[in-house]
Amino acid sequence: MTMVYEDRGDEAGAGAVPMRRIRFTINGDKKIAEVEPRLLLSHLIRSGVGLTGTHMGCDTTNCGACTVLVDGKAVKSCTMLAVQADGRAIETVEGLATASELHPLQEGFKEEHGLQCGFCTPGMMMSAKALLARNPDPSEEDVRWALSGNLCRCTGYQNIVKSVLWAAAKLRSQAPS
């Protein structure tokens, strides 16, 4: 939204960007923030909230390193404005594990060697979490399609796919019958 103000000749506020108050939930914690309307969600998460697992790789949605879940959907936070998260639930990679155990996706990446440098891993895991929420028994093709918006410059993707399939199997085995 663009705001237009009356010019009253008062230079005290000239050049100031109006702030906007937003309310959101991040990894289950309710927050309120005063943000500039132009602030990106990725910057709010990293600098405002202090959760640095959401990585910034390209600022153009090409790499997917900044992928988070917004209301359960995978979103590239480098091109979503923070004000668009008002009233929404955000989940980052920091929200996957509990205090005592890793999420099956994190375990899968460990067990199946799905990471090398780790830069793309948070975005891969969040895209995979969105996939597994809507499809608990994905095929290899389903996983590859769901991760197609995430780039890894280190691996050949095979172990990443195996990691997601490992996590899917574990989640299915833990599901109540």
For 61-89, what is each residue's pLDDT tens digit?
Answer: 899 999 999 999 999 999 999 999 999 99
Domain 16-95 homologous superfamily, CATH: Beta-grasp domain (3.10.20.30)
Backbone φ and ψ of 89, nearest 5°: -105, 125
| Candidates 1.25.40.10, 3.40.50.300, 2.60.120.200, 1.10.150.120; CATH matching 104-174 | 1.10.150.120
Estimate the crossing angle of helix 121-134 against helix 104-111, to 10 degrees: 120
| pLDDT over 60 (residue 2) | no
Domain locations in the chain as residue ranges: 16-95, 104-174
How far apart are the C-alpha atoms of 167 and 90, rounded to whole Å?
21
pTM beyond 0.85, yes or no: yes
Span 6-30, average pLDDT: 80
Span 19-33, average pLDDT: 96
Q: Which residues pair with 24 in a beta bridge?
A: 31
How far apart are the C-alpha atoms of 73 and 135, rounded to whole Å?
13
How far apart are the C-alpha atoms of 152 and 116, rounded to whole Å?
9
For 104-146, what is each residue's pLDDT tens digit?
Answer: 999 999 999 998 899 999 999 999 999 999 999 999 999 999 9
